[in-house]
Structure 1
Amino acid sequence: MKPRAFVPEKLDLAAFIHDGAGLEGEWPAASLARLADSAAPEAPADGWPAVRWSLQGETRQPKGGKAQAWLQVAAHAQVALTCQRCLKPVHEAVEVDRWIRFVDTEAEAAALDADSDDDVLAMPRHLDARELVEDELLLALPLVPRHEACPEPLVQSADEAVVEDEEAAPHPFAALAALKRGGGA
């Protein structure tokens, strides 16, 4: 019997998991539009290495229970985000390795997800693996990207420079106040 061919962009998830199938590949980082939107302006996603990904379906049979459908999603990407300290590109390696359990209905998924540490979703008829991988990579991005040590000194904004100049320069009425205190007018 010839094994089924699975297409990542329109994955028959139930059959994929039932067969214990696996898929892997690479996509250009720029083809993941939402991930590419996170790029630092000086380092666009078309210059990033390809995103490597893999999917593995598995059926687990707990003792005395109904068979469970699981999907392992793994991905690796090298991204360049804007450092929140120096505003220069900071290169980050983003790794994802997550198991997701699929159940029959949204209600069942909501109930199990609330009571479990596992990620639980309703089984879709077809799954776009590209979107799933991109979602997982977006969730793995650092909230505040920054260098451990910024490569260049921090740039001072014009507003900060004005505040420092005001603190260093004598207040224009300081001399008048001194005269008033000392002169007894």
Structure 2
Amino acid sequence: MKEHAFLARKLDVAAFAREGATLSGEWPALEFERVAEFAAPEAPASTWPPVQWTLTGERREPRGSEAQVWVSLEASAQVSLTCQRCLQPVREHLSMSRWYRFARTESEAAELDAESDDDVLVLSRSLDTLELVEDELLLSLPLVPRHEECPQPLLPPASVVTLEEASEDERPNPFAALAALKKDKG
């Protein structure tokens, strides 16, 4: 049996799974443009370590039904995002591991997706693994990136404290107005 030379950027998923092949590698973080958009300004994606990934194909033949195409993806990356407490860069480790089942058509994929918890994609003769890895990394980003303990103490800006104190001094005392009304009646 002839072994294929599979290309990660144009992967024939059916052949990849049929052979039970494995691909792995690393790509520079800058190639993941959508993830790089979340980079802290002080730590751009060009300073991040490369993204590691492994893809494994599998053909499953359940009893009484036709063969199924499955692919496993594992990826990990280290990104620097902006901490939402102190606004300084915070390094986040992203890691994911997921199996995908492939269906022949969009309608079959939608039906399988509704019936099970599996991730279902449409079978393609040219799957771009980089796009798949980037999609999963985007889903792995924390909603609110922050340090466990911020490196610098958080102090409220002086202008905020001054405004709060000034507004307290300017506010009239509601009871003083009531006392003035009582004096006018009496």
TM-score by length of 1: 0.89
8 Å Cα contact 1:29/1:51 also seen in 2:
yes
SS of the aligned residue for 2:169 comes to coil
Q: How many residues align?
A: 183
Q: Percent identity?
A: 56
1:122 aligns to what? 122
1:75 aligns to what? 75
Cα deviation 1:17-69 (Å, max 9, x = unaligned)? 11111100010101111111111111101001110001000011112221110
Which amino acid in the other structure matches residue 148 of structure 2?
E
Which amino acid in the other structure matches residue 38 of structure 2?
S
Which amino acid in the other structure matches residue 152 of structure 1?
Q
1:15 lines up with 2:36 in the alignment: no
**Shift in Å, 1:159:** 6.0
**Shift in Å, 1:121:** 1.0
Q: Report the Cα distance in structure 2 between the residues aligned to 1:87 and 1:65, rounded to whole angstroms.
A: 54
**Shift in Å, 1:152:** 1.2
1:171 aligns to what? 170
Which amino acid in the other structure matches residue 5 of structure 2?
A
Q: Report the Cα distance in structure 1 between the residues aligned to 2:158 and 2:138, rounded to whole angstroms.
A: 34
8 Å Cα contact 2:10/2:125 also seen in 1:
no
Report matched runs for 1:127-142 at 5 Å: 127-142=127-142
**Shift in Å, 1:162:** 4.0
Detail structure 1 runs of 4+ shifted over 6 Å in the superposition. Answer: none
Which amino acid in the other structure matches residue 8 of structure 1?
A
Report matched runs for 1:15-164 at 5 Å: 15-157=15-157, 160-164=160-164
Q: Report the Cα distance in structure 2 between the residues aligned to 1:158 and 1:10, rounded to whole angstroms.
A: 56
Segments of structure 1 that go 5 or more residues without pairing to the other structure are none
8 Å Cα contact 1:86/1:155 also seen in 2:
no
TM-score by length of 2: 0.88
Q: Report the Cα distance in structure 2 between the residues aligned to 1:158 and 1:38, rounded to whole angstroms.
A: 29
Q: Report the Cα distance in structure 2 between the residues aligned to 1:83 and 1:146, rounded to whole angstroms.
A: 4
Q: Report the Cα distance in structure 2 between the residues aligned to 1:155 and 1:132, rounded to whole angstroms.
A: 41
Tell me which moved more, 155-164 or 47-56: 155-164
Segments of structure 2 that go 5 or more residues without pairing to the other structure are none
SS of the aligned residue for 1:8 comes to coil
SS of the aligned residue for 1:49 comes to coil
Q: Report the Cα distance in structure 2 between the residues aligned to 1:159 and 1:105, rounded to whole angstroms.
A: 60
After superposition, the Cα gap between the structure-2 partners of 1:20 and 1:172, relative to the gap in structure 1 and judged at 3 Å, is closer
Which amino acid in the other structure matches residue 118 of structure 1?
D
